Structure formats: C-alpha cells, structure tokens
Amino acid sequence: MPCSKPGIAALTEALIVRGLNKTFAKPAVVDLDLTVHAGELYALLGPNGAGKTTTLRMVAGLTKPDTGEISVYGVDARQDPAGAKALVAWAPDEAMIYDRLTPLEYLEFVAGLWNVDPAVAKTRAEQLLAQLGLADEARRRCEGFSRGMKQKVALAGALIHDPRLLILDEPLTGLDAAAARLVKDMLRARVDAGGTVILTTHILEVAERMADRIGIIAGGRLLAEGRLDELRAQAGGAGGSSTLEDVFLQLTAESASA
C-alpha cells in the first residue's frame, strides 16, 4: 500500500523530538532527543519502565509532555495536534478494538475518524483484511477472536488511513509464527514503499533483523542510537561480532550502575 498524503512536501525527517521531558511520580522521560528519518524502520528498545511507551504516547498525542518539542513531518505536534495526528497511526500492545463490532465495521469507524473517503476506505479495508488473513472473519464480531486476531484487526485499523508514520508498541505480542512473519513482511513492504515505522519490542532478534536504526533508552534517557555497527562502537566494550542483545545488555547495565 502506498504511503501518500497530498499537499505535504516530502521531508527527510519523519519525527524530530527535542528536549522531551515527562514526570509522573518520578521522571519517566528526561531531556530526550530523537530523530527518525522518513522511510526507515526505527526500533526503540529498552528495559521495562525505560520510558518507551511514554515517549511514543507523547508522540501520538496521548500524553502531554511537560516540556520539549515534537515535530512530525514538519508539523509541530504541540501547536497543531490535529495536523500531526492526521499523519500518525498508533497501535499499542493491547488492541484498541470494540468486541461488539465486526472488523469491517471497526475499520469503517476508524476510517471515519481520519476522514478517509468512504469508497476508498471500503476497498482498502477489504484489501487489508484479505492481506491479514481475516477476510472470512470480516463480518464476525470481534468478541470471540483470539488475541492474535484482535492484534491483526487493530493493525488493519492503524493502516486504514494510510499513515505516513506508523507507531507500534510491541506489535508481535500474541501473534503466532505465521502471523508474526506476515506482519513483519507488511511493515517491511511499507517502509520500502516510503513509509516510516517506529516500533518497540522486547524481542531483540526482531529489531536486529528488521530495523534500519535502533534507539536504546533507559531511565527515560536515550543511551545510544544508530545502526547496529554504530551501537557496537558506542558500546565500546562489545566486540565486532557481538549481537544486539550483547550491546543492549552492556549499555543498559552501564546505565543502571551509573
């Protein structure tokens, strides 16, 4: 599926985050700077409670930052939240769907929220459900669906409005091997077609294999960012053939002991 939004000039940076701060009971995100290039798959990694989800929720407009700037394809998300939201899709690990709606009805609703032309949305919905192997379930209510099926419906919802920036929080949770492969292929195809994807995952092999660039975050701070070889260099101690897991563990351990 092509990623296109008429009237928006192609920009090289899909997301620019500068000096982002958020404190709940304790600081969750601290002076975070992040840059995601257009047309890349960026993996944001970190241990539990590192601030990944809080960061992404702020980018998606769900959580208000205390301070900092967020720019999505040149649109200031704090000044023009609706303009930024029109370019973004957010799919958390818990599928945001309605049990009493069918996948088709759900997609109709989501397309309406993003003001997609009804005829285009209908065609796209049928294509997406077929692609995700849900064509036979399109008119069944979601209440009896497995977690994986619900995740797929939510992913179709995230793609129905053809977002330029797709943010996925743990997108492979609950998916079986075949469905996980399908989703990975779809994300890769989307990136190859010019779309931008940011995902978080605890499965480091997935990040290692799929991501163009990786950011590692801990304690709300960005510890390192770049391609795997750049991360190895930043980790210093890790050898040239070290895996992402080695680099990740070394960086986060250093951060914890600092």
Partner 1 sequence: MSLFKPASTAWLLAHEMRLAWRGYRGSRSGKGVGALIGLGILFAFACLGGVLLALAVHGREVPIHPLAVLIADLLCAIVLTLMLSQTLGASAEALYERGDLDLLFSSPIAPERVLLVRSLGVATGVATIFMVFAAPLLLPSILYGHPGWLGVFGVLIALALTATAGGLILAMGLFALIGPRRTRTVAQVLAALVGAAFFLASQTRTLLGETASETLYADIAREAMDGRLTPPPWASLPLRAMLGEPLPLLGMLAVGGGLFWLATTALGRRFSDAAAAAQGAASKRRRGAVKPAGAFAAGAFRATVRKELRLMGRDATLLSQVLLRVLYLIPLALVLARSAAKVDAIALAGGAGIVAFMAGQVAGSLAWITLSAEDTPDLLAVSPTSTATLRRAKLVAALIPVALLLALPIAALTWFQPLTGLITAVGAGLAAWACGLINVWHQKPGKRADFNRRRGASWLATLAEIMIGGLIAGATTLTVMGLAGWAAPLLIVALTVLMVMRRTDEQIGRALRVAS
Residues that bind partner 1 (CB under 8 A): 60-62, 82-83, 85-86, 88-90, 92, 96-101, 104-105, 108-115, 117-119, 121-122, 125-126, 138-144, 157
Q: How far is the CB of 150 from partner 1 (least distance, A)?
A: 12
User: SS3 for 44-111, per residue?
Assistant: EECCCCCCHHHHHHHHHCCCCCCEEEEEECCEECCCCHHHHHCCEEEECCCCCCCCCCCHHHHHHHHH
Q: How far is the CB of 52 from partner 1 (least distance, A)?
A: 16
Nearer to partner 1, 128 or 218 (CB): 128
65 backbone dihedrals φ, ψ, rounded to 5°:
-70, 155
Q: How far is the CB of 245 from partner 1 (least distance, A)?
A: 31
Which 3 state secondary structure label does DSSP give 115? coil
Q: How far is the CB of 119 from partner 1 (least distance, A)?
A: 8
Nearer to partner 1, 91 or 172 (CB): 91
Paired residues of 198 in beta bridges: 42, 167
Tokens 């070394």, located at residue = 250
Tokens 């069944």, located at residue = 140
Q: How far is the CB of 124 from partner 1 (least distance, A)?
A: 10
Nearer to partner 1, 8 or 233 (CB): 8
